[in-house]
Amino acid sequence: MKSFLHVSDIGDLKKALAEAAAVKADPYGWAHLGVHRTIILVFFNSSLRTRLSSQKAALNLGLDPIVLNIGKESWQLETRLGVVMDGDKSEHLREAIPVIGSYCDLIGVRAFAGLEDYAYDYAETVLQQFIDYSGRPVISLESATVHPCQAFADLITIEEYKTKPRPKVVLSWAPHPRALPQAVPNSFAEWMNAADVDFVITHPEGYELDPRFVGGARVEYDQMKAFEGADFIYAKNWSAVGAYGQILSKDPSWTVGRRQMAVTDDAFFMHCLPVRRNMIVTDEVIDSPKSLVIPEAANRVVSAQVVMKRMLESL
């Protein structure tokens, strides 16, 4: 595997899920693979789960992780090409990336969408430079448009908890005080479309996701209707794509609570975390026995480990 951004990069999903189960059952079973190998994890943005689960996955494989927090420990990096560097950025990605590549075997990058320029974000301008200039396999640890390690962990979690061969999975927009990227819902949609589930997306009008990620999914603007008979509710806020990066609604009636969960088929509740309680989801729902947020986060080690394992095997 040369890079990990899309569901197509992992190949057959049944095989990937079987491999995830094997890695989870025997986390140290491939500890020889990473010996005398290094992964550099580059963070342009904050993280709790991705930072820790990626390091843990690397350690399980015998791989040495090095974390670099851009702008805090490194120089501030310029990411746009062709600019006069007379501002606060001391170094360009064009030099920094091959230097980072010369110190390691694999690279992970977290670089969120700026939410100002659709074309810049949706071209994956930062991540693509890592792919083009590092000479190393690159993992998106949430880049401008995708969060594949999260979506893979979500799929593993659904596989573990489903009680029907083809469960109904609903991705629901929920309110948030700040404008957030579309990476999590984009990847979730892409992976659910590829998986054997009945997938529905619900959001207020104006929050349509990019058609490349919506694919053939059913979109339902009535949240209560979308939730009917659901087996998994996946809540997430995102900012608008059309009116790029804008907050069009903070409607509290979309906060996932007992009212919506009551029309599901006793659905599980999922969220990638970090979550704003009583904005995205009520305390009652996230604290209920049907909430999967902790096992879902735990599966981030498993998804990252399968990806790093595949990359090490193909070096």
**Where does this chain bind ligand AN0 (CB under 6 A)?**
142, 180-181, 183-184, 272, 274
Partner touching 181 among ligand AN0, ligand CP, none, CB below 5 to 8 Å by kind: ligand AN0
- How big is the chain, counted in residues? 315
Q: Is 19 exposed, middle or buried (0-12, 13-18, 19+ CB in 10 A)?
A: middle
Which of ligand CP, ligand AN0, none has residue 202 at its interface (CB below 5 to 8 Å by kind)?
Answer: none
Q: Which one, 181 or 245, has the nearer CB to ligand AN0?
A: 181
- Return the residues of window 161-190 that contact ligand CP according to CB under 6 A: none
Nearer to ligand AN0, 96 or 183 (CB): 183
Which of 34, 181 has the CB closer to ligand AN0? 181
CA proximity to 290, closest of 259, 309, 265, 315: 265
- Residue closer to ligand CP, measured from CB, 21 or 273: 273
Task: Please choose which of ligand CP, ligand AN0, none residue 303 contacts, taking the beta carbon within 5 to 8 angstroms, the exact cut-off set by kind.
Answer: none
Q: Which does 48 bind (CB under 5 to 8 A by kind): ligand AN0, ligand CP, none?
A: ligand CP
Comparing C-alpha atoms, which of 138, 174, 305, 159 is closest to residue 232? Answer: 159
The whole-angstrom separation of Cα 259 and Cα 308 is 41
- Which of 20, 113 has the CB closer to ligand AN0? 113
User: Residue 41 or 104: which CB sits closer to ligand AN0?
Assistant: 41
Show the tokens assigned to 268.
């599980």
Question: Smallest distance from the beta carbon of 212 to ligand AN0, in angstroms?
Answer: 18
> How many angstroms separate the Cα of 69 from the Cα of each of 48, 79, 142, 166?
13, 15, 15, 41
Cis ω before 274 (30° cut-off from 0): yes
Least CB distance to ligand CP at residue 67 (A):
12
Q: Does 273 bind ligand CP (CB under 6 A)?
A: yes
Listed ranges 45-53, 83-91, 185-193, 242-250: which one lies at the site for ligand CP (CB under 6 A): 45-53
Among 10, 16, 34, 50, binds ligand CP (CB under 6 A): 50
Binding partner of residue 271 among ligand AN0, ligand CP, none, CB cut-off 5 to 8 Å per kind: none
183 binds, among ligand AN0, ligand CP, none (CB under 5 to 8 A by kind): ligand AN0
**With respect to ligand CP, which residue has the nearer C-beta, 78 or 270?**
270
Whether the CB-CB separation of 193 and 215 falls below 8 Å is answered with yes
Region from 5-13, 47-55, 84-92, 219-227 binding ligand CP, contact rule CB under 6 A: 47-55
Q: Do residues 202 and 223 make contact, with C-beta atoms less than 8 angstroms apart?
A: yes
Local structure of residue 245 (DSSP, 8 states): T
At residue 194, what are phi and psi to the nearest 5 degrees?
Answer: -85, -20
Who's near 111: CB < 8 A, 6+ residues apart?
Answer: 42, 44, 45, 79, 126, 127, 142, 143, 144
Residue placing its CB nearer to ligand CP in the complex, 30 or 308: 308
The distance of closest approach from Cβ of residue 121 to ligand AN0 in the complex, given in angstroms and rounded to an integer, is 12
Contacts of 179 (CB under 8 A, 6+ apart): 115, 239, 245, 246, 247
Tell me how far apart the alpha carbons of residues 285 and 34 are, in angstroms, rounded to a whole number. Answer: 40
